[in-house]
């Protein structure tokens, strides 16, 4: 039975078992995508033995951010000045603070996945790019992710896959437009303490 969430009291909407199921599914998905096995398999297929640092999830985050920013810069290139891939741009793309981005980019550089060179526009900034190893890690991780999704969706029709992609994209877009902040969590704990 469909309900109008605008007229329901907030507490009743939060007790909706569908929301609980979605929350648990997202929790399980996060665990599945951050499994150490994923990193081992990608590392085995991309390692050239030159890096002493093991591949980390944070390396993939930086590689994906630099790749996306590079694609965006190449697309925007015709519109005017050169767009640089900076630590600040990576921080913005990953929605993390610049000091954390600087550390993660440093780890990706140490792992041989990203290169840093002086900016031709502003010598105080670094311009980032993927190395050959970084491009290889991106290709292998993308291929692994698609193969894993394909295996998980065995038996799904083309229409079911398309509908799932549409709804998941819509959900992800809504999540990106409405990020959580720490105050919400504080409120939940206050309510829990008041109920005791």
Structure tokens at 156: 């799904």
| CA 137 centroid distance within chain | 15
Domain of residue 28, CATH code: 1.10.10.10
Question: Considering only CA atoms, which of 142, 139, 143 is closest in space to residue 130?
Answer: 139
Q: Is residue 121 in a domain?
A: yes
**Number of domains into which the chain is organized:** 1
Mean of the per-residue pLDDT values of the chain: 81
Q: Is residue 16 in a domain?
A: yes
DSSP, residue by residue, 79-128: GSSPPP--HHHHHHHHT--HHHHHHHHHHHHHTTSEEEEE-SS-TTSEEE
Is pLDDT above 50 for 2? no
Q: 21, exposed or middle or buried, with CB in 10 Å at 0-12, 13-18, 19+?
A: exposed
List the domain range (segments joined by +) for residue 90: 12-152
Q: What is the pLDDT of residues 147-194, one digit of tens each?
A: 888 998 999 999 999 999 999 999 988 888 876 666 667 777 777 778
Give the Cα separation of 28 and 3 in Å (integer). Answer: 27
Is pLDDT above 60 for 81? no
Question: How many CB atoms lie under 10 A from the CB of residue 113?
Answer: 27
């Amino acid at each position: 039975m469909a309900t109008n969430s605008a007229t329901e009291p907030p507490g009743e909407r939060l007790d909706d078992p569908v929301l609980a199921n979605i929350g648990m599914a997202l929790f399980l998905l996060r665990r599945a995508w951050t499994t150490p096995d994923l990193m081992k398999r990608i590392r085995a297929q991309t390692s050239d033995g030159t890096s002493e640092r093991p591949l980390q999830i944070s390396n993939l985050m930086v590689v994906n951010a630099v790749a996306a920013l590079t694609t965006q810069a190449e697309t925007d290139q015709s519109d005017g000045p050169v767009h640089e891939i900076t630590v600040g741009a990576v921080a913005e793309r990953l929605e993390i603070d610049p000091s954390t981005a600087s550390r993660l980019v440093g780890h990706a550089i140490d792992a041989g996945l990203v290169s840093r060179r002086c900016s031709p526009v502003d010598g105080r900034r670094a311009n980032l790019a993927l190395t050959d190893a970084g491009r290889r890690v991106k290709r292998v991780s993308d291929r692994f992710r698609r193969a894993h999704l394909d295996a998980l969706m065995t038996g799904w029709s083309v229409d079911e896959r398309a509908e799932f992609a549409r709804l998941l994209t819509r959900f992800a877009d809504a999540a990106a437009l409405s990020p959580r902040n720490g105050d919400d969590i504080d409120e939940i704990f206050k309510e829990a303490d008041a109920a005791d």
